Chains A and B, each alone.
Chain A
Amino acid sequence: GENVEQHPSTLSVQEGDSAVIKCTYSDSASNYFPWYKQELGKGPQLIIDIRSNVGEKKDQRIAVTLNKTAKHFSLHITETQPEDSAVYFCAASMLALAGNQFYFGTGTSLTVIP
């Protein structure tokens, strides 16, 4: 099955700086890569996703890049704010008619220092 690795496990940045979280995946058949933000005591919330036919996607302060050849993808958060503090998970999936379970990374705890 798919194996997703995520780094770093913890990340602290000063407010206003950028944060980058990286993930690698093992199965070249994976073609959908969502990123989730999870706050304490809550379920994961989708923040951005990317499909394998796109190399980069941006939504305001958040961007995701995908390198299919190297099998890695990254989350970039610019102009970080204290409310960005949370645990971020990457995931990989193979979209298919039969369903698509998500394989998650182990998470990155991001702390934005005011």
Chain B
Amino acid sequence: DTGVSQDPRHKITKRGQNVTFRCDPISEHNRLYWYRQTLGQGPEFLTYFQNEAQLEKSRLLSDRFSAERPKGSFSTLEIQRTEQGDSAMYLCASSPHGGLSAQETQYFGPGTRLLVL
């Protein structure tokens, strides 16, 4: 399978614990995005990387959240001191980069569903 993969698919944690999610983008896609999706809502942008550089962060990304893409391939999203309000589906997407005229479609992974008790 050459699509976007995410691990784990499900995570249950207690409030106050730290969690880390991993995303592996489609090979050679140099843009990687993180979104959060709560029940009954569309995905909301969190942050995005071009190669290893984190170029944009949403105000939704509080200081408890940190994302990395150290080698420009896979990415991790860490949530520290989790709160019940962090319960959501965390989606990763990737896209190729080629300038204004190139396709910028984002391809989504299956998501990591987080439940904070």
Q: Which residues of A contact B (CB under 8 A)?
A: 4, 6, 32, 34, 36, 41-46, 49, 89, 91, 93, 95-107
Contact = CB atoms under 8 A, between A and B. Distances in A.
Contacts, number: 62
Contacts of A44: 43, 91, 108
B42 interface: yes
A51 to B, nearest CB: 10
B55 A98 contact: yes
Interface residues of B, number: 27
A99 B31 contact: yes
Interface stretch (B12-20, B64-72, B75-83, B97-105): B97-105
B105 A106 contact: no
A103 B106 CA distance: 12
B28 interface: no
Contact of A97 (B91, B99, B105, B109): B99
Contacts of B110: 41-43
Nearest to A101: B45
B40 interface: yes
A104 B99 contact: no
B55 A89 contact: no
A104 B6 CA distance: 21
Given A105-B42, A107-B41, A46 B107 contact: yes
